[in-house]
Structure 1
Amino acid sequence: MAKRREQETDLTPAEATNRIWELAEKIDVCMFVTWDGEYNRARPLSARVSRDENAIYFLVNDDSAKNKQLETYPKVTLAWSDSIHYKYVTISGPAVVTNDRQKIAELWEKTDAAWWDTADDPEIRLITVKPDEGELWDSPGIVVATAKMVFAAVTGAKPNVGENAKVDL
């Protein structure tokens, strides 16, 4: 069960957890951030979100630098951004690279053909992230957020532009 770690929201921990999973699935492409021992490295990847399995999956090339980084530093951060609607999510957790051919075939989508011919391509690997914490910033939208920021600037008050919640997943 998720517990509240930071309170800037009226959401319960369960509601915040549900919203984090919902936004991650809806936004799809995230910045997949690894550590190489000296720098954080980020790259956009299409996420296959499966709350039922408490996992987020990625199809990647076998020879990718991120795979080598994960061998030494398995903790990753995933960051989704829907800047048009002012909705943002981060999820962190350990990641592992496997050659699970059955899961690769299960996750295969038509758009993957842009990178590989078929799900049987021997160069495809699967990264599985098991989330252990998440955070969301969920605004009612640009018009409302902008109006609240303008009002705050005029009055000197701090704007409340939406929900911010951090939970253990």
Structure 2
Amino acid sequence: MNTEQKLIDLINDFDTAMLVTRGEREDLEARPMAIAKIEDDGQIWFVTDRHSGKVSELKADANVVLAMQSSNKFVSLTGVAAIIDDRAQLDELWNEAWKVWFPDGKSSESITLVRVRPTHGQYWDNSGLSGIKYLIKAGNAYLHGDRPEVDEKINASITM
């Protein structure tokens, strides 16, 4: 498996991502977002309120970072976001749990989609057998005063 496919496979393990945008004062703003869909090429879809601060931030600067983390898997993506008004796509993505934020359901006029096209990604996967092998390498490196070698099964940086 190539590193880009490994990254996309890891992304599919997450249902939430921290979306980082640039705020009005050039500060960075982060907020958790439920992932609506992950495309085969790594594009990620979110649903949000068109009147939210993140939408105005994305209109001013579409460059974003997505960060995802579990106890032993970590993904960071840099990409470009777009606000998409597509009712057919919304119908396909709709999740009834989102009525918490949109009481009128998918017919709410305030719903819009955010699509992030990743341009660069990094992952660290310390799960399963790869994680155990890494722990052994790290232990040996520690005993010898060295740094452990890390292979692409555990860590890689990818331009997409």
With normalisation by structure 1, the TM-score equals 0.79
**Residues 49-79 of structure 1: per-residue CA shift (max 9 Å, x gap):** 1125x52110011211111111111011111
Deviations 1:76-110 (A, max 9, x none): 11111122xx2111122111113222211111113
1:69-148 equivalences in 2 (<5 Å): 69-83=57-71, 86-117=72-103, 118-141=105-128, 145-148=134-137
Q: Which sits farther off after the overlay, 137-146 or 42-51?
A: 137-146
- Contact 1:144–1:161, Cα closer than 8 Å, also in 2: no
Q: Give unpaired runs (5+ residues) of structure 2.
A: none
Moved over 4 A (4+): 141-148
CA contact (8 A) 1:105 1:120 kept: no
Do structure 1's residue 167 and structure 2's residue 153 form an aligned pair? Answer: no
Alignment deviations for residues 103-122 of structure 1 (CA, whole Å, 9 cap, x no partner): 11111113222222311111
Question: Could you tell me which amino acid in structure 2 is paired with residue 135 of structure 1?
Answer: Q
Aligned residues: 153
Q: Secondary structure of the residue that 1:122 maps to in structure 2?
A: coil
Partner of 1:119, secondary structure, is helix
Displacement after TM superposition at 1:154 (Å)? 2.8
TM-score by length of 2: 0.83
User: Could you tell me the percent identity over the aligned residues?
Assistant: 29
Contact 2:121 2:159 in 1 (8 A): yes
Which structure's relative contact order is higher, taking Cα pairs within 8 Å and 6+ residues apart? 1
Root mean square deviation, CA, Å: 2.1
Distance in 2 (CA, whole Å) between partners of 1:149 and 1:112 is 43
- Residues 20-77 of structure 1 deviation map (CA, whole Å, 9 limit, x = unaligned): 111112112111111125211111111221125x521100112111111111110111
Q: Distance in 2 between matches of 1:138 and 1:28?
A: 17
